[in-house]
Structure 1
Amino acid sequence: MLGDVARAAGYRLIIRDEVGSTMEEARRALDQGEPGKLWIVARSQNAGRGRHGRQWGSPPGNLYASLLLTDPCEPALAPQLGFVVGLALHDAAARLLGPVASELKLKWPNDLLLGRAKTSGLLLEGDSRAGRLNVIVGCGVNIASCPSDTPYPATFLKATAPQASVEAMLEGLSDALARRFAIWSQPGGFGPTRAAWLERAAFLGETITIRLPEGPLTGRFAGLDASGRLELDAETGRRVIDAGDLFFGPPPQS
């Protein structure tokens, strides 16, 4: 179920037993005229995917959810929604973990880590039609299990918090998203969103590698600029990066 805050803010929920992917279900709902603020949750997926079209294993016991937002912002601001949703994922997981929540960190641009191991990822997709931008946000949270064939370690919430459940995570995530989205939607709202994200950032101040189309780039993770781009202090000077895959240590082989 959705949380009380989410329901009061007009968010709604559809639950399916199994789908190809909740992202595609959300896109189908948009095609049918869905007005948005709609969460679609599946108990399992048989065609789940992550960034760059990567397959996302989706066995029962984990949270697979997509949120459809219609006309949430100007197109140029849409990438900032990744920080909003990342903070909501952190809020919800921290609520479940309690005393060990300090081990949760946000990895740019779209992962939630627990002890430097991935426990959640998100995917943003835009859809422009009728002169407005619609955004579908996909969230996958490892609760009862995690994949083993990932570029860096993965974990699941029950390994640390046996009481964690899909239902509790969804309730917490929906409420946290409603709160974080409301803050971000205010004039100047990315300022507090950016500050909150940096407080929870993984590897800030550390040496990282960003895999870019032209090849890997290594430097010190210096922060985020005013629009949310990653600031990297490389040997050649400060670089500002819109998108890429971040790795700690040497980048994995392609």
Structure 2
Amino acid sequence: MELSPHARALGYALEARALTGSTNDDAAAALRAGASGPLWIVAARQEAGRGRLGRAWASPEGNLHASLALVAPCPMREAPQLGYLAGLALLDAVRAVAPQRAAGRFALKWPNDLLLDGGKLAGILLDGVARPDGRAGLVMGFGVNVAGAPTHAPYPVARLADVAPGVGRERLFLALSDALAERLAAFAAADPGARLARIREAWLAQAAGREGGARVRVADGFLRGRVAGLDGQGRLLLETEAGIETIEAGDMTIISRDDGE
């Protein structure tokens, strides 16, 4: 497992492990212990991988399990929206390693998934960390189905091997470390007053659910509509028959133009 030359030149470090509980937990522990970051933790296998809302994440060998520890990458009020930047970087990476003809088969799904042909290819998990020096830490975690995908998932799944059978987790990580270093460098150099809006605009251009639409499970039921954008706080804007709904949290299902109810 190797970092890209660009990431190394920017001061990124890497710790590769054969087995761990959770790379996100390891990255958070490193930040609490005083790591200055940016530090990647990558494991061949996880025993306690987790996704959003504490859900278990299957972590077999052959897939990519990687987390990046960052120190104060932005004001903490902006940190949740860096999940969209992470999604864009992962999209950059898979498109860099997959055949060009497959580029249009990938899409981003709110709030933190990468899709391949409508199936979940990857998930992204952000964790905030309190550091002893008072500076905030942020962990970006990536779980990508490279060689295998869960067999009993309650939603469609995909694996990178379906479109790029010769690409292993090492090559994907090399591309991801490069893409994320580039995206974070551009974020740091951008006008603070405009950078989040640019991330949201770039994310929307790659988002699933803009055409056929989406169904979102919220606390009191379901909403159906078209993905219309993200507001200034990163919340989903869903265009429904009743108007624009602003959604802070929920589970989304993509509806193709050919799907019925």
State the TM-score, normalizing by the size of structure 2: 0.91
| Conserved? CA contact 1:206–1:221, under 8 Å | no
Deviations 1:196-216 (CA, angstroms, capped at 9, x unpaired): 212211111433111222332
Counterpart Cα distance in 2 of 1:209 and 1:159? 26
Q: Which position in structure 2 is the counterpart of 1:70? A: 71
Residues 1:107 and 2:109 aligned together = yes
**What are the Cα deviations for residues 67-91 of structure 1, in whole angstroms up to 9, with x where unaligned?**
1111111111011110111011101
Q: For residue 201 of structure 1, what is the amino acid of its counterpart?
A: A
Please name the residue that 2:204 is paired with: 198
Corresponding residue of 1:58: 59
Q: Distance in 1 between matches of 2:221 and 2:159?
A: 31
Partner of 1:252: none
Structure 1 227/98 Cα, relative in aligned 2: closer, same or farther at 3 Å?
farther
1:244 to 233, 247, 250: 250
Q: Which residue does 2:259 correspond to in 1?
A: none
- Counting matched residue pairs gives 250
Query: CA–CA distance in 2 between the matches of 1:29 and 1:242?
Result: 30
In structure 2, what is the Cα distance between the partners aligned to 1:124 and 1:143?
Answer: 21
**Which residue, 142, 145, 150 being the options, matches 2:145?**
142
Amino acid corresponding to residue 215 of structure 2 in structure 1 = T
Q: Which runs of 5+ in 2 are unaligned?
A: 256-261
Which amino acid counterpart does residue 122 of structure 2 have in structure 1? Answer: S
Q: Judge conservation of contact 1:63–1:166 (CA < 8 Å) in 2.
A: yes
User: Match for residue 3 of structure 2?
Assistant: 2
Deviation at 1:128, TM superposition (A): 3.0
What does residue 35 of structure 2 align with? 34
Aligned to 1:86: 87
Distance 1:92 1:238 in 2: 33
Residues 109 and 207 in structure 2, CA contact (< 8 A), matched pair in contact too: yes
- The SS at the match of 1:139 is strand
Instruction: Look up the match of 1:211.
Output: 217
- Which stretch of structure 1 is more off in the superposition, 141-150 or 41-50? 141-150
Please say which of residues 151-160 and 209-218 is displaced more in the overlay.
209-218
CA distance, structure 2, for counterparts of residue 243 and residue 110 of structure 1: 11
Give distance in 1, aligned partners of 2:223 and 2:37. Answer: 38
Residue 10 of structure 1 aligns to which amino acid in structure 2? G
Distance 1:236 1:195 in 2: 24
Identical-residue share of aligned pairs (%): 47
Which residue matches 2:50? 49
Instruction: Indicate if the aligned counterparts of 1:16 and 1:41 stay in contact, CA closer than 8 A.
Output: yes
Q: Which one is further off, 39-48 or 124-133?
A: 124-133
Q: Quick one: which amino acid aligns to residue 138 of structure 1?
A: G
Instruction: Tell me if 1:178 matches 2:181.
Output: yes
d(CA) in 1 for partners of 2:43, 2:215: 34
Which ranges in structure 1 are unaligned for 5 or more consecutive residues?
Answer: 250-254
Partner letter of residue 8 of structure 1? A
- CA separation of 1:172 and 1:128: change in aligned 2, threshold 3 A: same
Secondary structure of 1:75's partner?
A: coil
Shift of 1:138: 0.8
